[in-house]
Structure 1
Amino acid sequence: MEEMFREWSGYVALALESLSVLMIVIGAIEAIWRLLPGIMRTWTHMRRRAAWLSLARWLLLGLEFMLAADIVRTAIAPSWDDIGQLAAIAVIRTFLNYFLERDLEAATHAPREPGEPGEPGLEEAT
């Protein structure tokens, strides 16, 4: 029975890791999409900021899915080695998440340049 759950949790973890990669790819494509009009015309701070904010949000989501996959992978009868690896991975990803989220929050509330609209959305970046 334990082996069946271990196998099933492996599939769930793989699905979560796949979703994580998909989130990061979507974020990268969206960031590039936001930058393309700037490359064709003028490179503005607002376009770079919109692309960075968009990518940062997707990266945060991807990191959360990766951490969930690691937890699921070690949930069924983990060894002490598995627990140690999970702890190290969780600490590293939590620090990445914390600092990325802090930078994202700071960028969202940073003073804007004169004439720069509020938080950029899709309609402002295209």
Structure 2
Amino acid sequence: MSATPALPNTTALDPAIAARLKRDAHGLVPAIAQQYDTGEVLMMGWMDDEALHRTLTTGRCTYWSRSRAEYWVKGDTSGHVQRVRSVALDCDGDTVLVKVDQTGAACHTGDRTCFDAGSLPVTGG
């Protein structure tokens, strides 16, 4: 079960942005990190209003860890920093796309992307 973010209602996220977000039951939205110049999809993490606010104002990706129940800034312990180039919401407001300049691996396994595990077979179409 996902933990609820520890700092509800402490955000300074622009109210116009906050109004567009459609959060899950825990106040979270998925955030896709994509390499800004190649389009490579790097990883998916979770953000609440505070994590998005920190991401927008610091230029570094901040996520909410559901397993550790705390905020984390990508690269603070690994050195594999994500510097934000742009942020967009999808048409439904339920997913954030963060275009980044990734230094080093994006995945906790040490791979460049979390999607290096191999393609799944597609049998239809």
User: Is TM (by shorter chain) over 0.5?
Assistant: no
| Higher RCO, Cα 8 Å, sep 6+ | 1
Q: Which has more strand, going by share of residues? A: 2
Structure label with greater radius of gyration: 1
* TM-score for both structures, normalised by structure 2: 0.25
Which structure: greater helix fraction? 1
TM-score by length of 1: 0.25
